Amino acid sequence: MNTSEMRSYPRRVATEAGEIEFRLMGAADEVAVLDFAQQLPVHDLLFLPRNISEPKVLQAWIKEIERGAIVSILAWKGNKVVGCGTLVRDPWSWSSHVGEIRMVISKNVRGLGVGRALTQETFALALSIGLEKLVAQMTVDQTGAIAIFEGLGFKAEALLRDHVRDLSGRKHDIVVLGHNVAQVRAQLEAYGVPGAVQN
Ligand SMILES: CC(C)(COP(=O)(O)OP(=O)(O)OC[C@H]1O[C@@H](n2cnc3c(N)ncnc32)[C@H](O)[C@@H]1OP(=O)(O)O)[C@@H](O)C(=O)NCCC(=O)NCCS
Q: Domain containing 155 — which CATH number?
A: 3.40.630.30
Lowest mean per-residue pLDDT among 3-7, 11-15, 25-29, 87-91: 3-7
Nearest CA residue ID for atom 20, ligand 1: 144
Distance from the CA of 3 to the center of ligand 1, in angstroms?
Answer: 29
Q: Is the CB of 104 under 6 A from ligand 1?
A: yes
| Residue 3 within a domain | no
Higher pLDDT, 161 or 191: 161
Q: Does residue 2 fall inside a structural domain?
A: no
Residue 156 in contact with residue 59, Cβ under 8 Å?
A: no
Taking phi over 0 as left and psi of -120 to 50 as alpha, with beta for the rest, 162 belongs to left
What is the average pLDDT across 58-80?
A: 94
User: Measured from the CA of 138, which atom of ligand 1 is nearest?
Assistant: 47
Q: Is the CB of 103 under 6 A from ligand 1?
A: yes
CA dihedral of 195, 12, 110, 82, whole degrees rounded to 10: 110
Q: Which of 136, 114, 117 is nearest to 181 (CA)?
A: 136
Query: Is a pLDDT exceeding 80 seen at residue 118?
Result: yes
In contact, 178 and 151? CB cutoff 8 Å: no
Mean pLDDT of all residues in 161-166: 94
Q: Is residue 197 part of a domain?
A: no
When divided into structural domains, the chain yields a total of: 1
Q: CA distances (Å), 122 to each of 134, 168, 183, in order?
A: 11, 32, 17
d(CA 144, CA 27): 30
Flag whether 52 is in a domain: yes
H-type alpha helices, the chain: 30-38, 55-67, 114-128, 143-151, 181-190
Q: Is residue 1 part of a domain?
A: no
In this model, does residue 6 exceed pLDDT 70? yes
Going by alpha carbons, the residue nearest to atom 41 of ligand 1 is: 44
For residue 63, what are the contacts with CB-CB under 8 A and spacing of at least 6? none
Q: How many CA atoms lie within 13 A of 101 on its CB side?
A: 31
Nearest C-alpha to atom 23 of ligand 1 is from which residue? 144
Residue 193, pLDDT above cutoff 70:
no
User: Does the residue 198 lie in any domain?
Assistant: no
- Distance from residue 93's CA to the centre of ligand 1 (Å): 31
**Ligand 1 pocket residue status of 114, Cβ below 6 Å:** yes
Which residue segment(s) compose the domain that 148 sits in?
A: 11-190
* Res 84 pLDDT > 70: yes
For residue 105 and ligand 1, the question of a CB distance below 6 A is answered with yes
Q: Please report how many Cα atoms fall inside a 13 Å half-sphere around the Cα of residue 96, on the Cβ side.
A: 8
- Nearest residue (CA) to ligand 1, atom 8: 110
196 pLDDT higher than 70: no
Query: What is the whole-number distance in angstroms between the Cα of residue 52 and the centre of ligand 1?
Result: 20
Residue 175 reports pLDDT greater than 60: yes
Task: Evaluate whether 75 touches 21 at the Cβ level (below 8 Å).
Answer: yes
Residue 198 confidence (pLDDT): 53
Determine the distance separating the centroid of ligand 1 and the alpha carbon of 115, expressed in angstroms.
6
What number is the average pLDDT over the span 180-196? 74
Please give the residue that has the higher pLDDT: either 172 or 6: 172
For the cut 60, the answer to whether the pLDDT of residue 154 exceeds it is yes
Contact 112 CB / ligand 1 (< 6 Å): yes
Nearest-atom number in ligand 1 for the CA of 117 is: 12
pLDDT at residue number 88: 94
Residue 192 pLDDT: 72
Task: Report the candidate in 55, 90, 53, 87 with the shortest Cα–Cα distance to residue 73.
Answer: 87
Q: How far from chain centre, in Å, is Cα 156?
A: 17
- Overall average pLDDT of the 129-145 stretch: 94
Cβ–ligand 1 contact at 44 (below 6 Å): yes
Q: Mind listing the pLDDT tens digit for each residue in 12-54?
A: 999 999 999 999 999 999 999 999 999 999 888 888 888 898 9
Residue 93 forms part of a structural domain: yes
Residue 195 placed within a domain: no
